[in-house]
Amino acid sequence: MDRREHSQLRYLLLEREKELDALFQLASLYSQPSEDSASVLARTLRVLKHSMQDAEGIQIEISADGSTAAFPAGSSQAELYHAHRSYSSDKELRISVKCFCSSASVTQDEILDHEKRLIDSTADLLVHALQRQEIEEELRRKTQALEEQRKKLEEKNIALNEILSQIEQEKQKLLNHARTQISTFILPSLIRLKHNTGMNEEGRKQLEQLEQSLQDIFSGKDSRMLQLAEVLTPREIEISVLIRNGLSTKDISSFLHIAEATVERHRNTIRKKLNLRGSQKNLVSYLRSYD
């Protein structure tokens, strides 16, 4: 190999080294956290420009998503080569190499063939980077939207908890007021009536049941008995309360002025609805478990 061939080979190897270095820089650029598209295109232009053999005589131009950037700026002449890629369904990427002059070195095919491969490889890398940017931007937008929704929901939950707290406070005030009224005015009158010697036994039992029901308001028993309202009728609830309070079928019949057979029918229906038929469980004990 003579000196001229050796020099030409060395020159070509240096050019290939420049191209490989350019690909390494671009791959590193595209693997980093995404910058804005304009910054990515500008850095891509500079890397490509400096990797070309006749860097002074050419211009690199990149068009992506309707916008165009060129390095260096200015008017160029004929296009030497371009790479075109489609991405994100309706967007296009175009990398174009143009010459500023009619330099023979720029138009030699054997040199441009190497640079064509560099341009094509850059287009492949860049289009993936642009697609990733779009995905990341969409993810950021959705994440931000979800965060805003979370904050709004949190604010609504705080407001709802405040409303529920106020409702609970008002309910307790009403309950305390009702308890005060019952203990101050109603229960003393019932006690006096119950000890009235002129009252018959049936009337006294009715007063005792009324007194027991009023006292249950303080213990919360009635509120638990109301859970049975989902399966029992109001009449069955009434009879269940009397059964729980220890009244016999005869007592309930007298208290409600209904036949004993009617009371028994209600008892059987209550046991059936509470899944106690065929069971050894005592209805009185079962109902008192709601205390």
The distance of Cα 238 from the centroid of its chain, to the nearest Å, equals 46
Share of the chain above pLDDT 90, in %: 19
Mean pLDDT of all residues in 199-222? 69
What is the pLDDT at residue 167? 93
With tokens 């260096």, the residue in question is: 72
Query: Per-residue DSSP letters for 248-287?
Result: -HHHHHHHHT--HHHHHHHHHHHHHHTT-TT----HHHHH
Residue 54 confidence (pLDDT) above 90: no
- The answer to whether 98 and 58 have CB atoms below 8 angstroms apart is yes
How far from 277 is each of 15, 45, 71, 239, 257, CA to CA, in Å?
96, 87, 92, 17, 26
Of residues 82 and 225, the one with the higher pLDDT is 82
pLDDT in tens, 99-155: 875 544 444 454 567 788 889 989 999 998 888 888 888 899 999 999 999 999 999
Share of the chain above pLDDT 70, in %: 86
Domains and CATH numbers, the chain: 3-150 (no CATH), 217-288 (1.10.10.10)
pLDDT in tens, 246-288: 888 988 888 888 999 999 999 999 999 888 887 778 888 888 7
* pLDDT band with cut points at 50, 70 and 90 for residue 33: confident
What is the pLDDT at residue 221? 54
Helix (H) / strand (E) element for 96: namely strand 91-99
Find the radius of gyration of the CA atoms of the chain.
46
CA quadruple 260, 262, 266, 272: dihedral positive or negative? positive
What is the pLDDT at residue 101? 58
What is the pLDDT at residue 110? 44
* pLDDT band with cut points at 50, 70 and 90 for residue 15: confident
Phi then psi for residue 36, to 5 deg, are -70, 155
What is the pLDDT at residue 289? 79
Is the pTM of the predicted complex or chain greater than 0.75? no
What is the pLDDT at residue 105? 46
Alpha-carbon gap, residue 53 to 56, rounded angstroms: 9
pLDDT in tens, 56-76: 788 889 998 878 888 887 776
DSSP H helical ranges for 32-108: 37-51
Q: Using alpha carbons only, give the angle 178, 181, 185 rounded to the nearest 5 degrees.
A: 150
Cα dihedral 25→27→33→38 (10° resolution): 70
Alpha-carbon gap, residue 58 to 72, rounded angstroms: 8
